[in-house]
Amino acid sequence: MNSFSRQIAQDFKAIQRPLRVQILVFTFIRLIFNTLFRMVYPFLPVFSRGLGVDIATLSLALTNRYLAGMLGPFLASFADHRGRKIGMLFGVGMFTAGAFIMVLWPSFPSFVVMLILTTLGKSGFEPSMLAYLGDRIPYQRRGLPFSFTELGWSLSFFLGIPLISLLIAQRGWMLPFGLLTLLGCGAGFVLLFLVPRDTPSDEKQTNPLLNIRDVLKFPPAVAGLVIGMSGSTANEVINLVFGVWMEDSFGLMIIALGGAAAVIGLAELGGETLAGGLVDRFGKGRAIKVGLIANCFAALLFPLIGSNAVGAVISLFIFFITFEFWLVSSIPMMTEIMPGARATLMALNVAGLSLGRALGTLVGPILYDWGIGASAGAAIVFNLVAILALRRVSKVVS
C-alpha cells in the first residue's frame, strides 16, 4: 500500500505545476459544492424546524434537484461555445447566489430557490471543469487527475459535513449558508485569475439543442450514457433499501444509519483512490469492465453472507467501493468520446446518472418486497446491461 501511495504521489507530481494547482483548486470547489449538496439530508430535521415546515414538505422540495439537474446539458453546451472558464465561473456564480439567498431571506421559498440555483451551479461547473481538463491532459493520463477531483465528493462526507454539524450546533442552522457564500465568492475570485481564458474550438453552433442533438445521434455517445444510467440504477436499487434491510434484519438503527454511512464514505474514498492509481495502467475500458463485474459479485454477497451485521457491512463496503471504482474510471473515457462537445456530453452523462438513480428509486421498493436477493439480482442485471453498452464504446475509445 505504501508503494501504491508513493506511485500515485509521483504520478501527480509529474503533472505540470500550473495544472496541478488548478486540479487542487477544482477539488476544493467540488468539496464546497458537495458539502451543501449532501448536508441537507442528515440535517433535514434541523432545517425543517428552522424553516417552520414539516419534513414531508421539505423532502418534496428536494425533488427540484432532479428537475434542475435536467437543465445541466443546456448549461454545459454554453461552455462548449463560450469557453470552459466562462462555464466554470457561471456555475460558481449560480451556486454562490443560491447560498446567498438563504442569508438574505431565510425562508422556505428561499430554500427551494437555493436548491435549484446551487444544483444548476453544480451542473454548470463540473462538466465545464472536466472538459477543461480533458482539453489539456492526454487521454492516456486522465485517470489520476480526474479521480483526484472526485475526492471533492467523498471528502465532503469526512470534512464538510462534520464542520457543518459543528457550526449548526454552536451557531445555529443559518451559519453554514453564510460560510458557503463566502467560500463561493472566494472560489470565483481564484478561478478568475488562476484559469486562463480559453477559446472554443468550434463556434459554428450556438444553439444548445443542436449540440445535444449531435451527441444523441452518435451511437458510442449514447452507449456511454447507457453505461452511466444503467450502472447507477444498479447502485440505487441497493442504496435505497440497505438501511431498511439492516433494520429489518438486525433491528439496529444505529448500524443502519451511522455505521453504514461511515462504510459508504470509506468505500467512496477507497474507490476514488484505486481508480486514480489504476485506471491509466489498466486502460479505461478494462477498468470499467472489471469494476462492473466486481460490483455484480459484490451484489451476490448480500444474500450470501448478509445474514449477520458483520457480513452485511462487508457486503456494503465491497459493493460501494466497486461502484465508485468503475464510476470514476468512466469519467475520463466519457471525455474522449466526443471531444468537440465534451462539456455537453459530460452534462448529459450527469443527467443520465440522475435518471438512473430516479429509476432505481422507483423500482427499488418494489424489488425489496421480494427480499434483498431480488434487489441484488436486479443490480446484476442492470450492471450486465452496462457491460454490453461498454462494448460499443470500446470500439471508439478504450
Flag whether 2 is in a domain.
no
Looking at the structure, do residues 189 and 225 belong to the same domain, yes or no? no
181 and 225 within one domain? no
Alpha-helix runs per DSSP H in 137-258:
143-155, 161-171, 175-194, 208-216, 219-239, 242-250, 253-254
Q: Are residues 123 and 213 in the same domain?
A: no
> Does some domain include residue 10?
no
With vertex at residue 176, the alpha carbon angle to CA 171 and CA 179, rounded to the nearest 5 degrees, is 110
Evaluate whether 323 touches 239 at the Cβ level (below 8 Å).
Answer: no
Q: How far apart are CA 23 and CA 40, in angstroms?
A: 27
Q: What is the span of the domain harbouring residue 257? A: 204-398
Q: CA 118 to CA 84: how far, in whole Å? A: 19
Residues 147 and 173 in one domain: yes
Of the residues 197, 219, 238, the one at which a domain ends: 197
Q: What is the pLDDT of residue 270?
A: 87
CATH number at residue 77: 1.20.1250.20
pLDDT at 177: 95
Closest CA to 99 of 36, 145, 143, 142: 36
Residues in the chain: 398
Shared domain check, 86 and 229: no
* Average pLDDT across the chain, whole number: 84
What integer pLDDT is reported at residue 79 of this predicted model? Answer: 62
Say yes or no: 238 and 105 in one domain: no
The predicted-structure confidence for 283-310, as pLDDT tens digits, reads as follows 888 999 999 999 999 999 988 887 777 7
Residue that is last in its domain, among 197, 228, 247:
197
Which residue is it, cell 470500446?
Answer: 394
Residue 203 is predicted with a pLDDT of 47
* Cα-based distances in Å from 98 to 26, 50, 76, 101: 19, 18, 19, 5
Last residue of a domain, one of 177, 197, 217: 197
Which segments of the chain have a pLDDT < 70?
1-11, 42, 59, 63-64, 66-67, 69-70, 72-80, 199-208, 243, 247, 249-262, 398
Q: Is residue 7 part of a domain?
A: no
Q: Are 393 and 282 contained in the same domain?
A: yes
- 6 domain residue, yes or no: no
Are residues 396 and 260 part of one domain?
yes
Q: Tell me phi and psi for residue 347, to 5 degrees.
A: -70, -40
Q: Is residue 186 domain-resident?
A: yes
Looking at residue 366, its pLDDT comes to 85
pLDDT for res 252: 55
pLDDT for the residue 25:
95
> Domain check: are 315 and 344 in the same one?
yes
Instruction: Provide the pLDDT for residue 105.
Output: 92
Q: Does the residue 154 lie in any domain?
A: yes
* Residue 25 grid cell: 483548486
